[in-house]
Structure 1
Amino acid sequence: MSASESTPLLTTNGHVTTQHKPTIWRRIIALVKAEGEPSWFESYKFLMTSWFNVLLVLVPLAFLADALEWSSTLRFAFSFFAIIPLAKLLGDATEQMSMSLGQTLAGLLNATFGNAVEIIVGLTALLQGQIRIVQTSMLGSILSNLLLVLGCSFLAGGIKYNESEFQVTAAQTNASLMTLACITLVIPAAYHSARTISTDGIPKVITNLVKDPRLTDMDEQGQTGLLIISRGTALLLLGVYVAYLFFQLKTHADLFKPKPKRRPDVESPGDVSALEEEEVADMSVVAAGVGLLVITVITSFVADILVGSIEEFADRYSIPKPFIGLILLPFVANAAEHVTSVWMAMKDKMELTIGVCVGSSIQLATFVVPLLVTVGWISGHELTLYFDNFETVAFFVSVLLVNLLIQDGKSNYMEGLMLITLYLVIALACACPPSIHSLGSR
């Protein structure tokens, strides 16, 4: 039978016409693009609409610098700034794919690719044995989302609107989960302090920010106990995150749905058209999936170049590694989220802003970090949930401040300034020489 075979069809007026069956080529197209979806050309044209993509020229330059073994400065700079457009493309493709899927699949997709850059950088650093880079970059991403991104969003929204409102129950649920994740990081630090011994055999339980010259590492039994605590906690946090997804997407989905906003140009309260129109995907599902796969692979290679050049770059310019991990890398990885969150806040979509900032931090603290600990367990890398005293305190006070500010379900520009100020104080402390505090002491 021919691919273009036709079938006789009797119409209502008695005339006979023919109905052409779809060709093999059209059947193939139907498999990769559903009816009504944008074409592949239109899909990828959408991905190239951001000015961030100008920096994509740095991707081949990063590969070239690594292949020709150029200086660490060029390798670090090219790969550092090349991550920015790749993160933006990952976010766009994930968002477009989520629009075409159900809530459950969209939630799982966001859990996997929402922090794809952080996962890629973390896995790359872990497999290279850069444990401190893994820890500082993960914690830095959480602090960046909670303080810098959320602070700038509150500030931008507060400048345009006197006060913005958001769902209190959902925000408090997110904040409570972040508090749980914070506590799980405090416990390994407390255990480490209790089991750390000095050269004279006296237990050290005082958490000094200044390193005691007599202080040595834990004994072998203490190290084993720290690994057991970290790996067991990681598995528990992964279980909590799965329960959180079920809570958010299934049993209590109504708590996380933003209230519909009325367009400012329509004043009629009874007019249904006054409600904002639902967003429509600009990419087909298959095109977005292929784009996600390709961009993820490219990002993994760029991240490998970036992580491989960090140590040489930091030593050459005397930059503390904690500053690179806590401040610089998260700033690049969260650049796209930063712009999206601020833009949503200026459109008075504060629920989406909270979801981007706090939700992303929850993914990192209860999914990405435990995932990396589990991968390190499997691959033989002793990654733990123990963070230095400075990092633990910084995380604790950040979660505390965010909890205090979002508990009333309202935001203004002054609250944004508070969050940004705390982030700048932490960045200033990270920029100090490592001998000032315990960052990078291990």
Structure 2
Amino acid sequence: MKNRWFTPLLVITTCGSAAAHFFLTNEPIRFAVASLSLLLWAALLGKATEAVAHYAGERLGGFLNATFGNAAELIIAIFLVKKGLFDMVKASLTGSIIGNLLLVLGLSLFFGGLKYKTQSFNTMLAGHNASLMLLAVIVLFVPAAFHGGLDQQEVRTVSLVISGLLILGYLLWLVFSMITHKKELGEEPAGTKEADANFIPPTVDEPAWSRGVSILLLVVSTFFIALQSEWMVGSIESVAHALGWSELFVGAFLIAIIGNAAEHSAAIFLAMKNRMGAAVEIAVGSSLQISLFVAPTLVFISLLFGRPMDLTFTPYELAAIAVSAFIASSISRDGSTNWFEGVLLLIVYAILGTVFYLV
């Protein structure tokens, strides 16, 4: 990172978080310091994945950014599953999905649109993303819709079957998008850039680090994110109780915003460099990865702890995911964006945040 203050602050907050965890009993302070350290490590993770994206290309780079960006959320969720906090796990998954579709994508469209009047990306990719978002909504809706007619064991069995199929579908999507149809889903929106006399090429900066250093920073950042996540989760229940916040709000917004820090920074910076294809790949791709891979993976991981988790989400969570997927799909399907569309996404996010806080 080029900022002179970043590295010293990262070291100070990490040491402070360790000191608070081992020597303090005040849970709010421990939570606050661990969260700040987690945010800084997530920012470093985002910068490192942006450097890797330079070497790997926009599609693979966006996928790596979404994957390592989701590492924080996955690690936090694993510790929550270990403690049996399934409601908070599902709320955090919901918050991650709507946060990426509304907050991350909305900020990317807004700030990118302020600099460039119109930004474009591959329309075929946009169409497939919209279909996958619809699949995620349908799959998450099914267990809740049939919950009343099944006993608890049958619900868990259905969740395991659905989880296996989702993971298979996501892996096949990676094969489709990264191998068999890589060219068709590439960085160039076919038939648009060449014909647009006003087209402004994306800004491509030299990465801050070499390929090897970038990969090393990915690994180191992921390790410290895991560490800070464990410490943060240890304090989250008492903090939520002290503030009078529900598990739904804490999981869907507080944890999701902290966990999404890597995507926030990287997607916005890429959009401001007119690399909207990579920004959309990070925001939408991250939501798809959460719903089609991370959520079902947690169902299998829960079996290792002897605490089986199902995929039955609350009506509030399902409504939020469906609304987010609908408007994000509507806005991005044409492969063209502007700043006002970003505002629309942010308005919906603010509305959902208000409702979740009051529920």
**TM-score for the superposition, normalised by structure 1:** 0.73
Letter in 2 for 1:390: Y
Counterpart of 1:65 in structure 2 is: 20
Question: Which region of structure 1 is more displaced relative to structure 2, 401-410 or 105-114?
Answer: 105-114
1:164: how far off? 2.2
Q: What is the distance in 1 between the residues matched to 2:115 and 2:66?
A: 31
Going from structure 1 to structure 2, the CA distance change for 1:253 and 1:127 (only over 3 Å counts) comes to: same
Counterpart of 2:278 in structure 1 is: 352
Instruction: Give the share of equivalent positions with the same residue, in percent.
Output: 34
Counterpart of 1:191 in structure 2 is: 146
SS of the aligned residue for 1:115 comes to: helix
Counterpart of 1:143 in structure 2 is: 98
Going from structure 1 to structure 2, the CA distance change for 1:314 and 1:242 (only over 3 Å counts) comes to: same
Which residue, 300, 308, 312 being the options, matches 1:374?
Answer: 300
Q: What is the distance in 2 between the residues matched to 1:78 and 1:384?
A: 32
1:348: how far off? 2.4
Is the 1:241–1:367 Cα contact (8 Å) retained in structure 2? yes
Counterpart of 2:321 in structure 1 is: 395
Question: Is 1:121 aligned with 2:50?
Answer: no
Going from structure 1 to structure 2, the CA distance change for 1:410 and 1:97 (only over 3 Å counts) comes to: closer
Going from structure 1 to structure 2, the CA distance change for 1:165 and 1:104 (only over 3 Å counts) comes to: closer
**Structure 1 residue runs without a partner (length 5+):** 1-46, 196-220, 261-268, 437-442
Provide Cα deviations, 1:335-358, integer angstroms capped at 9, x if missing partner. Answer: 232232222222322211211110
1:277: how far off? 8.0
Counterpart of 1:252 in structure 2 is: 181
Q: What is the distance in 1 between the residues matched to 2:257 and 2:331?
A: 23
Q: What is the distance in 2 between the residues matched to 1:392 and 1:99?
A: 36
Going from structure 1 to structure 2, the CA distance change for 1:114 and 1:73 (only over 3 Å counts) comes to: closer
Q: What is the distance in 1 between the residues matched to 2:109 and 2:204?
A: 24
Q: What is the distance in 2 between the residues matched to 1:302 and 1:65?
A: 11
The structure whose RCO (Cα within 8 Å, separation 6+) is larger is: 2
1:281: how far off? 4.9
SS of the aligned residue for 1:255 comes to: coil
Q: What is the distance in 2 between the residues matched to 1:109 and 1:390?
A: 31
Which residue, 105, 108, 130 being the options, matches 1:175?
Answer: 130
Counterpart of 1:323 in structure 2 is: 249
Q: What is the distance in 2 between the residues matched to 1:377 and 1:115?
A: 21
Is the 1:160–1:346 Cα contact (8 Å) retained in structure 2? yes
Q: What is the distance in 1 between the residues matched to 2:108 and 2:297?
A: 29
Is the 1:103–1:249 Cα contact (8 Å) retained in structure 2? no
Higher helix share: 2
Is the 2:204–2:273 Cα contact (8 Å) retained in structure 1? no
Aligned residues: 349
1:109: how far off? 5.0
Going from structure 1 to structure 2, the CA distance change for 1:430 and 1:102 (only over 3 Å counts) comes to: closer
Pairs within 5 Å for 1:256-267: 256-259=185-188
Counterpart of 1:82 in structure 2 is: 37
Is the 2:65–2:282 Cα contact (8 Å) retained in structure 1? no
Going from structure 1 to structure 2, the CA distance change for 1:286 and 1:346 (only over 3 Å counts) comes to: closer
Q: What is the distance in 2 between the residues matched to 1:346 and 1:371?
A: 33
Pairs within 5 Å for 1:264-283: 281-283=207-209
Q: What is the distance in 2 between the residues matched to 1:250 and 1:226?
A: 35
Q: What is the distance in 1 between the residues matched to 2:43 and 2:31?
A: 19
Letter in 2 for 1:295: S
Counterpart of 2:152 in structure 1 is: 223
Is the 1:90–1:116 Cα contact (8 Å) retained in structure 2? no
Q: What is the distance in 2 between the residues matched to 1:187 and 1:137?
A: 20
Q: What is the distance in 2 between the residues matched to 1:137 and 1:50?
A: 33
Backbone CA RMSD of aligned residues: 2.6
SS of the aligned residue for 2:285 comes to: helix
Counterpart of 1:202 in structure 2 is: none
Q: What is the distance in 2 between the residues matched to 1:100 and 1:409?
A: 24
Question: Is 1:152 aligned with 2:107?
Answer: yes
Letter in 2 for 1:244: W
Counterpart of 2:265 in structure 1 is: 339
Letter in 2 for 1:132: D
SS of the aligned residue for 1:303 comes to: helix
1:95: how far off? 3.8
Going from structure 1 to structure 2, the CA distance change for 1:49 and 1:245 (only over 3 Å counts) comes to: farther
Q: What is the distance in 2 between the residues matched to 1:156 and 1:360?
A: 19
Going from structure 1 to structure 2, the CA distance change for 1:424 and 1:54 (only over 3 Å counts) comes to: farther
Provide Cα deviations, 1:197-241, integer angstroms capped at 9, x if missing partner. Answer: xxxxxxxxxxxxxxxxxxxxxxxx611111111111111111111
Provide Cα deviations, 1:90-117, integer angstroms capped at 9, x if missing partner. Answer: 2333343454458998688556524111
1:399: how far off? 0.6
Letter in 1 for 2:146: Y
1:51: how far off? 5.8
Provide Cα deviations, 1:270-299, integer angstroms capped at 9, x if missing partner. Answer: xxxx96686655434443343333322222
Is the 2:43–2:265 Cα contact (8 Å) retained in structure 1? no
**TM-score for the superposition, normalised by structure 2:** 0.88
Pairs within 5 Å for 1:283-322: 283-322=209-248
Going from structure 1 to structure 2, the CA distance change for 1:96 and 1:160 (only over 3 Å counts) comes to: closer
**Structure 2 residue runs without a partner (length 5+):** 190-196
Is the 1:55–1:81 Cα contact (8 Å) retained in structure 2? no
Q: What is the distance in 2 between the residues matched to 1:65 and 1:143?
A: 32
Letter in 2 for 1:68: F
Is the 1:231–1:377 Cα contact (8 Å) retained in structure 2? no
Is the 1:115–1:360 Cα contact (8 Å) retained in structure 2? yes
Q: What is the distance in 1 between the residues matched to 2:300 and 2:270?
A: 35
Counterpart of 1:237 in structure 2 is: 166
Going from structure 1 to structure 2, the CA distance change for 1:232 and 1:48 (only over 3 Å counts) comes to: farther
